[in-house]
Every structure is written in structure tokens, then in C-alpha cells.
Amino acid sequence: MPVSTRFVQPRSLTAILLFGLVTASAAFAQEPKPAPAGDTVDLFGLKVTQNERFKFGGEFIAGWSHDGAQAALGLEKQGRVGMAILSLGGKVSNRVRYYVSVNPVSETNSRPACGEKDFFFPNDPRLFAGTGPIVPCDPEDGLKRVDTYNTFSLDYITQQGILREGYIDWGLSDSVSLRGGRFILPIGFAPRDVGAATAKDMTRITRLNAEANYGAMLAYSARRGDRPVFDLGVMAVLGDGNREKDYDWFYFVNTSLDTNSAVTVAASMRLMPFKALDLRAAYKKGYTGSKVERLPSYWASKRNDDALVVSLKLSPTSWASIFGEYAKYRWGPTLTSGELVGLPDLAGIDKPGYYMGLQLEAPITSEIRLGGSVTREELTRDDSLIQYLTLNHLYGVSMGKKDRELIVRGFVDVNRLVNVSFFWMDVSNPFPWVSGSWPVTGPVAFTGRAPDRVGVTVSLRTP
């Protein structure tokens, strides 16, 4: 029996959810760290004393940008608070600890668009009108929160309301721990690892890897002194946290709800034999959405959600590092979902790509560092939207085209607590009109502003 078939059996759900293995150091790399116990932290003006049971933290990120993808509505100039994360963690006992973080700025999810004359919006609920529940459009945000190619959101994590993460860790031994709850999956580099601050200046691969979901994981870590040198593991989560990235709108049901009986499983490894080398690899096998026989729709179907990600970062000195990441995703409706909507020969959609970059930084004073980076990315544009439009010969779309980005960043960092970043992105999107950025009919069809971006972000975090 194929591996993918075994994982979809409902009877395996309970057993699988009891286990998961992930690198603890990689998981923690994506969350704000509370200050050490016994210290007093300034939580944006509020003095809070830390202790072993209650450790507070915070992270604030705001940004201004010019985003050509939203120029059609005259909204290309944007200034927003993207994240105002407050976290609380601590120990319940010597073996049990907890962590909770909230971000009230929760606007990552795409919204159903009302449509606009001469434009195509993939999030228009009329695409599946008559095949499912009535979905009202969102006249305020639907035209501006379309997909990952056309959105005003600075955040990159889909939350459960304002809850970003919330989990409990149980230390089974000095090197093994079990985690349960909602957490960010440690797949690939975290944005901060490669110099990014928000969804506006990160590579598309980094954004596709960023996923929070509910599940369990078991972590093993080998250490040399205080430094981890090898982590290895597997995890099991519900799986729908990645649904919208492949246009599986599923009638815009809350993505924190599980729409299928299968679980998503992943394996993760991190190797750091010495400080100059950071090698990671992750493999994910799962599904999003569900095949609903009574409501057959291409836009609400069971999709593949597999990923293979290999990451490498070399830091030969304290002021220079080179990094890169290779990713290969498999998306698209499953064979049985394709049959349900009259497309019986659908195969999974392979979406390979890579990025590589160089970062340099130098101390100006004992507290201030100045630096910058250059990153080049190339990723296949293929996904379920491109497949659908290709099969129906719509809007001049075809499979096999590539999305390319060149990102140039500069930053000033003060004590690793305050960071001011400047960025410029040259974006080469082969089909900006399928995300509502350019018109598809009328006298100026298939023309518009280049989806390039330029901006500045300010990040503050507690010690």
C-alpha cells in the first residue's frame, strides 16, 4: 500500500497525532524569545518582572511600501502595522513548559472578492456559484487580499483568530520532548534567518514554507555543551494551514478547521557540527481540503500538499554569510477529486524552485551594526489556478512558466533589538492579471504596473 494511502486512514489519526518529531532549536527560531528569568523586561513601556513561571516577550513590526501589484485600485502606497506580537511562556514544573503568543493584527487570510469590471479575481465566489454554499463577497478587503501575489498583509502566518501559537512541551528526558498544540512548522529557514522582516520583502519559497497548524511533535536534540549540533524528528498536524496557497478556497471556511480525515506528517533534520555551518532538510506529506461528493467544485477539493526543502547557510566569519534553499512542492487536486469535477487525468502539480543570497554586516559601534543582503529566487508559477486556466484556455495562461525575484536589502541593527530595514524587489511574475493586478478585458487588457516593491520596515523586540 502506498505511503500516502496509509496516512489517510481515519483509524490512524489517533496513533499518528501522539507522535511528531521536530527540531526544537528550529521551532524556537521562529518565535520571539522571552527574557531570562529574574530580569525585568520593558514590554513597550510596561516594566514586567520575569520569573520561571511567567516570562513575557513582545515583537512589533511596522512597514511602508510601494507595491505595484495593488496599483490597479490606486492602493500601491501602503503603511501598516503588520505584527504586534505579545508572548507568554514559562515552566509549570521541571518537565513541563508552555508558550502562548497572540497577534491582534490578523489579516493574512484572503477574502472573497466581489469582482471588478474587466478584471479576473481567483477569489471571486461566483467561480463556484451553484455548486456549494452561498459565500458573500467582502467589498472592503476582497479586492486587496486576493492571494500571496496580491495582498496588503505584512504578516506571513495564518493564525487562529489572534492566536499565533499556543502549545505545551513535556520534557521526556534531557534530549527528548513532546509538544502538543498550535505551532509554527520548522520547514526551511525562518524569515529572520535570511534577513527578511515581512511578507513584502521575503522570498516566495520562505512564505510558502511558513505555516502554523495544530498537532503534535516529538523532538530530539544532541548538544555539544550549550550548543545544539544535531536535531532529528517527525511531526503530525491537521494540515489545512497551507490551503489557500494553492487556491483551495473551500468556500472560505476558517483554515483552523480541519476539512479532511487525513493528517499531514513531516520529517525534519538540522545539522550544525560547527558554528559556520547550518544544514537543514524537511519533507512533508499531506493533503488540504476534502472531496465533498455532494458539492463538487475544483475550488473546494482535496489537494496534494507535499514538500521537500533543503536549506544551507555558511557563515565563515561573523560579518558574512551565504545561504540558499531548494524546494520542491507537489500541489493540485488529487486524482479522485479530479474525477469528481470531470477531469479524470489530473496528475499532481510539481512546483520546484530555489533561492540563494549573500549577507554582509559590520559593527559601526559596540551597539550598532550596519549590513545588507542580495537574494535571487526562481520558482515555477504552476499551481491549481494556473492548471485550471490552462485546461480551460483562459487569459493566455500556460503551465511551465517561472516566477523570478531579485531582492536587495539594507539594515541598521541596534543591540539585536531594534532593526530598520530598507528593501527593493524586482518581481517578474509571468501572469499578474490572474491575481487581479491587471485587467483581462478592455482597451488596456494584460497591461499594468510592474509588481515590483520597495519599502522600509521597523522591527522592535524585547530582550
317 burial (CB, 10 Å; 0-12 / 13-18 / 19+) is: exposed
Structural domain count of the chain: 1
What CA–CA distance (Å, rounded) separates 302 from 292? 8
Residue 301 contacts residue 340 (beta carbons within 8 Å): yes
| Pairing, β 453-461 against β 418-428 | antiparallel
416: Cβ–Cβ under 8 A, 6 or more apart, which residues?
none
User: Do residues 76 and 60 touch, judged by C-beta distance below 8 A?
Assistant: no
Q: What is the pLDDT at residue 450?
A: 95
CB neighbour burial string for 406-435, b if at least 16 within 10 angstroms, e if fewer: ebbbebebeeeeebebebebebbbebbbbb
pLDDT at residue 51 in the model: 79
Q: Give the distance between the most distant pair of CA atoms in the chain.
A: 69
Q: Which domain holds residue 280?
A: 3-461
Nearest C-alpha neighbor of 249 from the set 183, 195, 207, 299: 299
* Residue ranges of the chain with per-residue pLDDT less than 70: 1-39, 41-48, 261
Q: CA separation (Å) from 155 to 92, 164, 395?
A: 31, 11, 30
The pLDDT assigned to 127 comes to 87
pTM: 0.88
Grid cell 521526556 in the structure block, residue: 172
pLDDT of residue 18: 35
DSSP state of 333: B
CATH code where residue 12 lies: 2.40.160.10
Q: Residue 180: exposed, middle, or buried by beta-carbon count in 10 A (0-12, 13-18, 19+)?
A: middle
**pLDDT for 152-172, tens place per residue?**
999 999 999 999 999 999 999
Rg over CA atoms, the chain: 22
* Cell numbers that stand for 66 in this block: 510601494
